[in-house]
Amino acid sequence: MAHHAVSGRAEGRRVARKIIIDTDPGQDDALAILLALASGEALEVLGLTCVAGNVPLGLTTRNARRICELAGRRDVPVMAGCDRPMGRDLVTAEHVHGEDGLRGVDLPAPTMPLDSRHAVDFLIETLREAAPGTVTLVALAPLTNLATAFRRAPDIVARVADIVLMGGAHRALGNVTPVAEFNIHVDPQAADIVLCAGAPVTIVPLDVTHKALVTPARNAAFAALRTRVGQVAAALSRPTGRESARHGGLGAPLHDPCTIGWLLAPDLFAAREVNVMVETGSELTMGMTVMDWWGVTGRAANARVLHDIDADGFFDLLTAGLARL
């Protein structure tokens, strides 16, 4: 399957990779968005498409605008998308992200307006208008918006450069059920549609993100930036003391920014091409990502799955990015 190069070159300068971030902020979404907006000439953020997930849609759209304003980027359009999964009731994660989705971190209410376009319409229009293979979709949330767009406009699938999604798990097992990761579990039908659509997919699963732990030292490095963004990043990622035993008490995982880390510095990661299917039938294993690691099914690979990370290098990249805002 074709995966497109990370960047092109024109007249000796790097051409920014165009991305749309589909998101449900969420404190780790917030840090991913900040890293993308800080990336200068590497990434051009065309828009933020919001979906219900970590918290309901009204809060995810509010938080996305608060983050853009924190970064001084009121020019980035923020769209509201689907307010519930395709075929199931919405499950949210306030127990992780707080009632407001951003742990109650002191950010002012947004003054920039919500873009009037629906997120799904924006995805369809943007992919149809851009040259094929030039727009990457970065999915930090349940895949409802992407699946709805693909179902409504199948012609756009072939135009996608890559889908880089945070979701799923292999050996790491699940974080909301014994076998399912939150983003996939919230809307497994949508995940199934996206994985079966035929666009290139890069999956950033818990196997990688559980190695990107915010230790006290890494958190202190955010605070040491002595900027407003650094203060907020530190508050969003501060260890709570309730960290799961599965991380050895070292810190909490930083899931979503790993997607932007992959786009900016793929050498920090190890990857493998495998077949990935999503369980949509069994309530016991609903949303499980079944990864054929050893090729036993004979099914063709449909995803590049990241499985290891240079965590120190990643946190250096993230801290340096936040320092530019």
Q: How far apart are CA 80 and CA 122, in angstroms?
A: 10
Angle value at C-alpha 108, between 104 and 113, nearest 5 degrees: 120
Phi, psi (deg, nearest 5) at residue 297: -90, -20
- Residue 325: what residue type? L
Among residues 198, 119, 190, the alpha carbon closest in space to that of 160 is found at 198
Q: Catalytic site residues? A: 255
Q: Note whether 97 and 89 are within 8 A (CB).
A: no
Side-chain-facing half-sphere of 13: CA atoms under 13 Å: 5
Other CB atoms within 10 A of residue 154 CB: 11
Based on the number of CB atoms within 10 Å of its own CB, is 244 exposed (0-12), middle (13-18) or buried (19 or more)? exposed
Written as six digits, the tokens of 67 are 């983050």
